[in-house]
Chain A
Amino acid sequence: MAKNNSAIKLTSGDRIFYFAVNAFLIFIGLAISVPMIATITQSITPNGHIGTPIDKFILVPFGAKDKNFEHFQAGNYVFNVDGYGPIDVRVIETGEAYTNNDIPLSERKENNKVTDTLYSATDANGKKVKLAIREEINPGEGSRVKLSKFRLIWDFAAYKALLTNDNFIDAFWNSMKIMVFGVITALFLTVPMAYCMSVRDLPGRKILNYYVLIPYLFNIGLIPTFLVIKSLGLINHQAAIFMPGAIGTYNCLIMRGFFEGIPESLKESARIDGAAEWYVLTSIILPLSKPIIMTIGLYYAVNFWNDFMHALIYLLNAEDLNPLPILLRNILMGIGMNDAVEVNAFGAASVSAVKAASVFISAIPMMLAYPFIQKYFTKGTMLGSVKG
């Protein structure tokens, strides 16, 4: 709620206060956004860069190509490379330049393509230059040297590698499946349960309440639930991921609260016409409940999409069934990679770029859904707290 204080004279204390308020909010805004931006930045940082660390933070979408030494006269020059030492650069008439120094270079294996390694250096006059050095395919000439435009250019190699990787695509698809079936199952179970709990004069309503709330209050824990899933034969089946959480008791109670808030008269008028309860539910209650069902559905969707624990527990040796969080964790920890996901198959992209890119791709669905969530959740959370 913005306060309009313009009509009232502000004391200096007030000015400091409002300054502090804005400063704090800016700080929070930065604190939240900087790590996320840093992740995106890292995912498009080109591989093979050995230069000052600060250069990594200055990325541009595109830049001019590296230049030859055209305006240098042919001859030998010495450049002092930061972090390495002096190298001899031999410029020939055509403007091409080579060095025979054994300076460390990054390698790219894919398709025999080689990359430039970027270095900061100073020339003999103390002027700072940037050198792009490449290992030439024909040895004897030495490594090819060019003058580089030193802004690192966006490199989407990590994204290309991930989006064409079968494991990654499978995991994304698995997460989708789990989320969709999970939400359908969850709503299919939660809505009737919540509705029946809200029927005012239902005989045994108290018993039903206890029936639902006791397991919520007394959480028996992981192992006994695991054994239930095991005895149902659902281990290594994706349904095991959403079944245990299909009726979230908290969500159920929110929905019950909403249903209790629906005027009794509406239900009565349907019942007088002799309608069965499920008809009352579908034709009268449900159309009115769209906001709460959307909200609760979104809560379930977020839960199932992000679910890590259930997949970890119940998918034991079924790699092709892994949802995205599991695969993402494997990528981040550099473990359990089977051949298709191995690091050197990513070739063009650095390991950290791949990690950052996988994080970003995993976050995209949630970020896309976020406007919808924002639209519904404040309404929904309020709705659920209305009790009859």
Chain B
Amino acid sequence: MNAQETTVLTAPKKDLWKDIKRHYSVYALLVIPAVYYAIFKYGAIVNGQIAFKNYMSQDGVWGSIWIGFSNFFEFFNSYYFVDLLRNTILYSLAKLVFCVPLSIILSVTLYECTHDILRRVVQTLAYLPHFLSWVIMYGILLVLLAPGDGLINEVIKYFGGESIEFLTDTMKFPVIVILSDAWKEMGWAAIIFIAALMGIDPSLFEAAMVEGASAVQRVWYITIPSIKPVIVTVVLLKLGTVLDAGFNQMFVLSNPAVVAVGEIIDTWVYNEGLGRAKYSLAAAVGIFKGIIGMLLVMVSNTVVKKISDSSLL
């Protein structure tokens, strides 16, 4: 063995090269996924330049003319900019405010339930809708809310009322959006809280009961505070994706009558960008959303890191 390689003064490059050669089969494994990533993710990022260009199909990505930030200004000054942002953010926040507490309550009640059968049945039922697509959800909503023969309207008519247009009324539509999202995702979201609840030290509860705490006190003073870090993490992570608001749901549920309250950024990008071939404008909007989204995620991730010791990076 060369005496030089064992001393501290060895040139790092030599070791690095040896290291690389040693791991060459890892790199070989990496090639195909890395190429996939290069094409589909970074290729897309490169295509993002059309946001600063005036993309025409015949010119392609590279041949289209640069127009700088014009697309962005067009978007910010448009009449729909405020509506889109408002719809997107309001839906995300409303879902957050409604669904997170509901999931927490569901997880705590499942945890506290003493009837094994009831608990298992409800748990199984609650998880199920998450695995159904939004198209199926829409079908179920039609069965319930259709203006003519929907279940709820049939019951209303039976009691002498007039059938209500749930899915085409701009006041009722957002409520349906939020409720249906809760219906679908509440069980799945509760999993995280249930996992956290399982991790609570039972001796805390025993001590509380010895002290004579009632069940309500036990839940309020021990159970919920014990999962507070998880709650905060979940809320922060959801805030990081506040601009997403659910393309599948909004696209499937939306109809011309409720466009004013049914259009979010993602559905707009689809309708205008692909539907009306306004590629550059839609790309600009997408980049705007991506940047804001990235900032939000990074901020919330940093805060989460401070609270618990886990992070994505």
Contacts and interface: CB of A to CB of B under 8 A. Distances in A.
Interface of A: 1-5, 8, 10-11, 13-14, 17-18, 21-22, 24-26, 28-29, 31-33, 35-36, 38-39, 42, 52-54, 56, 188-190, 192-193, 195-196, 199, 201-203, 208-209, 211-213, 215, 217-228, 232, 243-244, 246-247, 253, 276-278, 281, 302, 305-309, 312-313, 325, 328-329, 332, 352, 355-356, 358-359, 362-363, 366-367, 369-370, 373-374, 378, 381-382, 385
Interface stretch (B25-33, B84-92, B224-232): B25-33
Given A4-B114, A370-B128, 6 more contacts: A5-B215, A11-B214, A17-B112, A25-B110, A28-B122, A308-B252
Nearest to A277: B25
B181 interface: no
Contacts, number: 293
Q: Rank and list the top 8 A-B pairs by shortest CB-CB distance, nearest first.
A: A221-B286, A359-B139, A306-B133, A277-B25, A224-B47, A215-B41, A193-B33, A53-B154
Interface stretch (B2-10, B74-82, B143-151, B169-177): B143-151
B215 A14 contact: yes
Contacts of A209: 313
B251 A309 contact: yes
A373 B128 CA distance: 10
Interface string B260-285: 00000010011001100001001101
25 contacts: A2-B113, A13-B216, A18-B215, A25-B118, A28-B122, A42-B143, A189-B36, A193-B34, A211-B37, A215-B44, A217-B294, A217-B298, A220-B44, A220-B48, A221-B289, A222-B270, A222-B273, A223-B47, A226-B274, A227-B50, A228-B43, A277-B25, A277-B26, A278-B28, A359-B139
Contacts of A244: 40
Given A227-B50, A253-B312, A366 B132 contact: yes
Interface in B100-141: 105-106, 109-116, 118-119, 121-122, 124-129, 131-136, 138-141
A17 to B, nearest CB: 4
B290 A221 contact: yes
B16 interface: yes
Interface of B, helix, strand, loop or mixed by DSSP:
helix
Interface in B146-175: 146, 149, 151, 154-155, 157-158
A202 to B, nearest CB: 6
Contacts of B146: 352
A367 B133 CA distance: 12
Interface of B: 16, 19-20, 23, 25-30, 32-34, 36-37, 39-48, 50, 61, 105-106, 109-116, 118-119, 121-122, 124-129, 131-136, 138-144, 146, 149, 151, 154-155, 157-158, 183, 186-187, 191, 195, 197-198, 205, 209, 214-216, 219, 247-248, 251-252, 266, 269-270, 273-274, 279, 282-283, 285-287, 289-291, 293-294, 297-298, 310, 312-313
B142 A332 contact: yes
B139 A54 contact: no
B287 A221 contact: yes
A17 B216 contact: yes
A10 B114 CA distance: 13
